[in-house]
Chain A
Amino acid sequence: MKTYEEINSRIESGEAVVLTADEIIDYVDKEGLDKAAAEVDVVTTATFGTMCSSGCFLNFGHSKPKMRMSEVWIDDVMAYAGIAAVDAYLGATQLRHNDPANMYYPGDFRYGGGHVIEKLVAGEEVQLFALSYGTDEYPLKEIRTYFTIDDLNQAIMTNPRNCYQNYNVAVNCSDKTIYTYLGELKPNMANLTYSSAGQLSPLLNDPLYRTIGIGTSVWLAGARGHVYAEGTQHASDCLRGDNDVPMEGAGTLGLTGNMKKMDSEFVRGVSLKGYGASLALGVGIPIPILDKEILRHCTVRDSEIFAEVIDYSSTYPERGGDIVGRVSYADLRSGEVELDGKTVAAGSMSSYSKALKISEILKEEIKQGAFLLSKPIRNLPVNQGMTPLDVRAQGEKK
């Protein structure tokens, strides 16, 4: 048994034993759980993938004369300005003004909020256009200027839903091609798409949220960030395997961090044909090995993590409950899986290679004493369900 304080003091003195979630599997196989739990201080987990519920709060500073910006566009992408005078929230999936979307199906969605965020993090110049109705103390009604992230007072990435614990595998059982947030799915189950870092993924290594909670320090695209809330749609009351690992979506994290400190390698605009624009993000989360059980969960491997295969031509849009099957991430990563007696080509939407790189970067930062762990101030709920939206008449009871 170790405490956060003990682990942090070993990190500060440069003595901490840190392994990635990839390395820990073989290490425990070789050394045994007891010995490894005594030796290892931290296991680093990571993920890199499209996380649509991402965005940032920006503060532009005041122009002369001042303006209460009520409508804001950055590079022609609208940011939400229904907050204080020169603050705005730019969301990853916001489309550029005049983007024809799916009017000419399938749309290309070449530039949106996620691309603006990537440009900002890369230090590139973007255009600000803002309108206002004008008030006595904020008389300016229109502004067009250019800025970089360095010109902003604050750029705070604030993502209500990141790091999905597990995720659907998408196939298309219909007889025509469909375009989804999991890519192009060819008819008759010709291909499928999955999206998880599997054995590297943060919440798959801490399936019952024992160390990842509100207040946990995270590596957010190179910056120090933290978990500020349970993520939206956090649904921990789900089907789990004997290893406690969810077999469906399950938990999510609300993450925030200083965007000015981020590295654009890990903040990437995404264009999904026929679906929309988004942002791919790299996240690393250290797991303190406080006891044997926490370590045992960290030894989870792709062959022991299963995901549900869902038909995105019918079941998914209709909110049905049927699944086509269950497959392991080991099978998915082999490039093809057997489903209903058919061999289906498997593609991934999240990047295992970037996740691996992040787990190694975080490991080095911890070993060098540059990244300390923080104990959650509150745990994430373990038995929480998810309510669907009912369409009802005004005043009608459920």
Chain B
Amino acid sequence: MNTAELITKRVILNFPKFNAGQPILTKLIKEFDLEINIYRARVTPNKEGYIAIDIIGEESLIEEGLDFIESLNVDVDLAMNSLLWDQDRCVGCGNCVPHCPTGALHVGDQRSRQIAFHRNLCVECLSCVENCPFGACVSIF
């Protein structure tokens, strides 16, 4: 890889109900010089599927790579993680905190002890979904 500045983009690829016909992630790596970190995936021929990934690389190459994916009629969602944290459902107990392996869910301000969520740190392991008594953490898949 060259020395240009690398960025990370969190992306969900939503596959329609047909075969994309080619190994998309391999192409992103080989042809666009991107690193891929897969969080969650469900890809079955002729069924709807998804891949939740981080794409790491040069911004222009990421854009080209995403254009290529969209040209295959695969929906690219840059807006969300597959894990949603609902601030209104969260009561701020903090039961999730020791179960979150990356500190994405953490005690924000030490005095008020409200819980805060760092979307970029979330690896979508879903242990918060298992452990939230209040249903504040939900998987979109």
Contacts and interface: CB of A to CB of B under 8 A. Distances in A.
Contacts of B133: 50, 183, 270-272, 278, 280, 349
A352 interface: yes
A268 interface: yes
Nearest to B127: A184
Q: Is the interface of A mostly helix, strand, loop or mixed?
A: strand
B96 A347 contact: yes
B130 A351 contact: no
B93 interface: yes
Contacts of B95: 183, 193, 347-349
Nearest to A344: B98
Interface in B124-141: 130-131, 133-135
A356 B107 CA distance: 15
A257 interface: no
A354 B91 CA distance: 7
B49 interface: no
Interface in B93-141: 93-99, 107, 112-115, 130-131, 133-135
Interface string A259-294: 000000000111111000010100000000000000
Interface in A299-350: 333, 335, 345-350
26 contacts: A50-B133, A110-B135, A183-B95, A183-B133, A184-B130, A268-B91, A270-B134, A271-B133, A271-B134, A271-B135, A280-B91, A333-B113, A335-B98, A346-B98, A347-B95, A347-B98, A348-B93, A348-B94, A349-B93, A349-B95, A350-B93, A351-B94, A353-B92, A354-B91, A354-B92, A356-B113
Contacts of B96: 347
Q: Shortest 6 CB-CB distances between A and B: which pairs?
A: A353-B92, A345-B98, A347-B98, A352-B113, A348-B94, A191-B98
A27 to B, nearest CB: 15
Question: Most B CB atoms within 10 A — which of A48, A333, A335, A353?
Answer: A353
Contact of A352 (B92, B99, B131, B135): B92
Interface in A191-208: 191, 193
Contact of B93 (A271, A273, A351, A356): A351
Contact of B97 (A272, A335, A354, A356): A335
Interface string A49-66: 110000000000000000
Contact of A273 (B94, B112, B130): B130
A268 to B, nearest CB: 6
Contacts of B113: 333, 351-353, 356
Contacts of A48: 91
Contacts of A280: 91, 93, 133-134
Contact of B94 (A110, A272, A347, A356): A347
Contacts of A348: 93-95, 97
Nearest to B88: A265
Given A184-B130, A352-B113, 20 more contacts: A183-B95, A183-B133, A184-B131, A191-B99, A268-B134, A271-B134, A273-B130, A280-B91, A280-B134, A347-B94, A347-B96, A347-B97, A348-B97, A349-B93, A352-B94, A353-B92, A353-B112, A353-B115, A354-B92, A356-B113
